[in-house]
Structure 1
Amino acid sequence: MIMMKRMFLLMFLMLQFSFLYAGIVVLNGLTHAYKVENGKVYKGKVEIENTGSKPQNVKLFLQDFTYHADGSINYTAIRTNNRTNGDWIKLNTNLITLKGKEKTEVFYEITVPNQSVDPGSYWSVIIVEPVEDIKPSDDKAGVNITSIVRYAIQVITDYATEKAKPDLKFESVKIEKEEGKQIAKIAIANNGNLYCKPTASIEIYNRKTGERIGSYTSIAMGLLPQTSKSFYIDISKVPADRYKAVIIATDEEENAFALNVELEVKND
Structure 2
Amino acid sequence: MCRSMGWVSVALALVASMLFSSVSAGVFVNSDMTQERVATPGETYRGTIVLKNLADTPAEAKVYQTDYSFTADGSNEYGEPGRLPRSNARWVSLSRELVTVPPKGTELLDYEVKVPAGTSLSGSYWSLIMVEPIAPDSGESAAELPEGTARIKQTLRYGIQVVTHLGSPGPAGLEFTNPQVIKDDDQRLFAIDVKNTGQRLLRPTLSLDLYSASGNPIGKFQGIATRLFPGTSARFKIDLGKTPAGQYLGLVVADGTGDNLFGANVELEIE
Give the structure-1-normalised TM-score. 0.89
Distance in 2 (CA, whole Å) between partners of 1:33 and 1:258 is 27
8 Å contact from structure 2 (residues 37, 165) kept in 1: yes
Q: Does 1:62 align with 2:65?
A: yes
**Is 1:244 matched with 2:242?**
no
Task: State the distance in 2 between where 1:199 and 1:251 align.
Answer: 7
Instruction: Report whether the alignment pairs 1:167 with 2:170.
Output: no
AA matched with 2:227: G
Instruction: Report if the CA contact (8 A) 1:161-1:194 is conserved.
Output: no
Distance (whole Å) between structure 2 residues aligned to residue 104 and residue 69 of structure 1? 36
Match of 2:166, as an amino acid? Answer: Y
How many Å separate the matches in 1 of 2:115 and 2:195?
A: 27
Cα distance in 1, alignment partners of residues 13 and 221 from structure 2:
50
TM-score by length of 2: 0.88
Contact kept, 8 Å, 1:49 with 1:102, in 2: the verdict is yes
Shift of 1:94: 1.1
User: Between Structure 1 and Structure 2, how many residues are aligned?
Assistant: 261
Equivalence for 2:132: 129
AA paired with 2:160? I
Distance 2:59 2:246 in 1: 56
Q: CA RMSD in A?
A: 2.2
Q: Take 2:195 and 2:10, find their aligned partners in 1: how far apart are those partners?
A: 49
Task: Classify 1:238/1:25 alpha carbon distance in 2 versus 1 (closer, same or farther; 3 Å).
Answer: farther
Q: Which residue of 2 aligns with 1:112?
A: 115
Shift of 1:177: 1.1
**Equivalent in 187, 191, 197 of residue 203 of structure 2:** 197
- 1:66 Cα deviation after fit: 0.6
* Greater displacement, 194-203 / 5-14: 5-14
Distance 1:40 1:248 in 2: 37
Which structure has the highest strand share of the two?
1
% same residue: 30
Taking the aligned partners of 1:16 and 1:206, their CA distance within structure 2 comes to: 54
Within 5 Å, give how 1:1-268 maps onto structure 2: 2=1, 4-11=2-9, 13=11, 19=18, 21=22, 23-133=26-136, 134=139, 137-139=145-147, 144-162=151-169, 164-208=170-214, 210-266=215-271
Q: What 5-or-longer segments of structure 1 have no aligned partner?
A: none
* Cα distance, 1:252 vs structure 2: 1.9
SS in 2 for 1:87: helix
Native 8 Å contact 1:51 1:101 kept in 2: yes
Q: Residues 57 and 182 of structure 1: is their aligned pair in 2 closer, same or farther, counting only changes over 3 Å? A: same
State the alpha-carbon separation in 2 of the partners of residues 147 and 117 from structure 1. 43
Contact 2:26 2:60 in 1 (8 A): no
1:64 and 1:76 in contact (8 A); partners too:
yes
